[in-house]
Amino acid sequence: MAAVDLTTHPGHLARRLQQAHYLLWNTMVSEEITSPQFAVLNALVAEPGLDQRTVGERVGLDRSTIAEVISRLGRRGLLDKVRDPQDGRRFLLRLTDDGLRTHKKLTVRTARMNQVFLAPLATDEQALFFELIRRVADAAEGLRNPSEPLVAPS
Amino acid sequence: MAAVDLTTHPGHLARRLQQAHYLLWNTMVSEEITSPQFAVLNALVAEPGLDQRTVGERVGLDRSTIAEVISRLGRRGLLDKVRDPQDGRRFLLRLTDDGLRTHKKLTVRTARMNQVFLAPLATDEQALFFELIRRVADAAEGLRNPSEPLVAPS
DNA sequence: TCACAATCGTCGGTGCACTGAACAATACCC
DNA sequence: GGGTATTGTTCAGTGCACCGACGATTGTGA
């Protein structure tokens, strides 16, 4: 009666998109390393020695989640945690040689997977796909922080 | 060095999009009922008396996940599970009055949330947004079933 | 200097999502 | 009619994702 068409609900579409990606990742990239784990490896390739919180910021994960992901990567021997001698609250993170190798290998496979994933779209549509999703995600992300005012509050 | 730009990775974008949606849903729709739970309510408004597996199929959840979601909705008194007298394996699902009321209330709020969520896009861009995501998700979903052959195998 | 606030990490709790295995009920086929 | 396959549900295990609370460390201001 009053039922709604979920195909016009962005949340539902986003969930389905992620499921589809999860499926393809598992078959084409790795069954061991997940996509968020790869994102963490990638962040540490770009900026070795980051602390945990900053890595979470880079890849878009909160403190609790990033702690678990990092703990799994550490258990697999892909990264090292060392206390920051300058600031005893932080752990400095750095990839091991194994971590670097893994990142390199997965980078190749991920590129292949992305091609397959985006194959249904023409090249210009792919660019649009990225842009539209990014705009929506950025805007919603912006609603989270109460928009730091341009003028300092009294 | 060999780090990759995650903003051109559809999986990463999909994850961020869903996080953004989760955030907005929590603040604008409900802190109790989640988006997948609403999808289940909606499926049962459209087709009362479905069994668990079919509901999962409608909303895109596997058997394990749908079982948990339904168990939570049942615990909240939003739906009833009854053994199918015709087929003792199934449970027939039906919303309670409370479930119907909840669905109605959330439908209104969800519509408002979708407007806010999609506000960064012009109307024609929103249509494109839906179409592009749906095409990618459908295609990947299609890869899952090994494409039932048109000609029966020997 | 010393109390107070901010920051980093951890822990507990909830919920989504998948796989693989087990179990019960039904359907099918000889 | 009875053995076998199929189907619906559940359970155990793993992993992502959030929140709120807590302890430890650092930074700041009176």
Q: Provide the percentage of residues in chain B whose pLDDT is more than 90.
A: 86
Is 90 exceeded by the pLDDT of residue B2? no
CATH number at residue B129: 1.10.10.10
Mean pLDDT, residues B50-75 taken together: 96
In a domain, B119, yes or no: yes
In a domain, B149, yes or no: no
CB-nearest to B21 from A11, A121, A128 is A11
For B22, the token pair is 């989760």
Chain A residues with beta carbon closer than 8 angstroms to that of B16: 60, 133, 137, 141
Mean pLDDT, residues A128-142 taken together: 93
Nearest nt to the B90 alpha carbon by C1': D8
User: What is the domain extent for residue A57?
Assistant: 29-135
CB-nearest to B133 from A17, A45, A110 is A17
In a domain, A143, yes or no: no
Confidence band of A145 (pLDDT split at 50, 70, 90):
low
Chain B residues with beta carbon closer than 8 angstroms to that of A1: 45
Mean pLDDT, chain B, as a whole number?
91
Closest CA of chain B from A123, distance in Å: 12
Chain B residues with beta carbon closer than 8 angstroms to that of A15: 18, 35-36, 60
In a domain, B17, yes or no: no
Confidence band of B1 (pLDDT split at 50, 70, 90):
low
pTM over 0.85: yes
In a domain, B100, yes or no: yes
In a domain, A23, yes or no: no
> What does the pLDDT read at residue B147?
44
Could you give the number of structural domains in chain B? 1
Q: Provide the percentage of residues in chain B whose pLDDT is more than 70.
A: 92
In a domain, A7, yes or no: no
Residue A28 near residue A109 (C-beta atoms within 8 A):
yes
- A positions 2-21 inside 8 Å of B (CB): 2-4, 6-21
Strand-pair category, B79-83 with A91-95: unpaired
Residue B140 near residue A117 (C-beta atoms within 8 A):
yes
In a domain, B98, yes or no: yes
Cα separation, A80 vs A73, whole angstroms: 9
What is the DSSP track for chain B?
-----GGG-HHHHHHHHHHHHHHHHHHHT-SSS-HHHHHHHHHHHHSTT-BHHHHHHHHT--HHHHHHHHHHHHHTTSEEEEE-SS-TT-EEEEE-HHHHHHHHHHHHHHHHHHHHHHTTS-HHHHHHHHHHHHHHHHHHHHHHTT---SSPP-
Confidence band of A148 (pLDDT split at 50, 70, 90):
very low
Q: Does A92 touch chain B (CB under 8 A)?
A: no
